[in-house]
Amino acid sequence: MMKEFFLKMLSSVDPTISSTRFLSIVTVLTVLYSWLWVSIYRQEIQDIPTGVWTFVGIVITGGIFRGFSENKNTSSSSTTTTTETKSEPKE
């Protein structure tokens, strides 16, 4: 199941599969898991370093800006123009 997901993510242009979204989720979960593990191991709540928060912020912000740019490109390229013609009534 995961193998299929990774293969789709790497080879497909399917818009429902987003590698940026996946990277954001994995980054946040990795940071939280590591923080939890270290806090339990040392038996006290640990501070998360500023550099880690900065990295998480960069990853999430990059995903947001990429999403906006993809939506902007998609909406401008998929705009269709229709023209109406007026027909004269037949007698």
* pLDDT at residue number 42: 96
Answer yes or no: is 12 within a domain: yes
Res 62: pLDDT: 85
pLDDT for res 68: 73
Band of residue 21 on the pLDDT scale cut at 50, 70, 90:
confident
Model pLDDT, residue 66: 77
- Its pTM stands at 0.59
Cα 80 to Cα 26: distance, rounded to the nearest angstrom: 38
Domain count, the chain: 1
Say if 49 falls within a structural domain.
yes
In a domain, 15, yes or no: yes
How far is it, in rounded angstroms, from Cα 20 to Cα 7? 15
Give a yes or no: residue 33 inside a domain. Answer: yes
In a domain, 7, yes or no: yes
| 72 within a domain of the structure (yes/no) | no
Instruction: Tell me, yes or no, whether 35 lies in a domain.
Output: yes
Q: Which residue range forms the structural domain that includes residue 16?
A: 2-63
- State pLDDT tens for residues 25-82: 889 999 999 999 999 999 999 999 999 999 999 988 987 887 777 677 666 554 455 5
- Give a yes or no: residue 85 inside a domain: no
- CA 50 to CA 54: how far, in whole Å? 6
For CA atoms 37, 42, 47, 49, give the dihedral sign.
Answer: negative
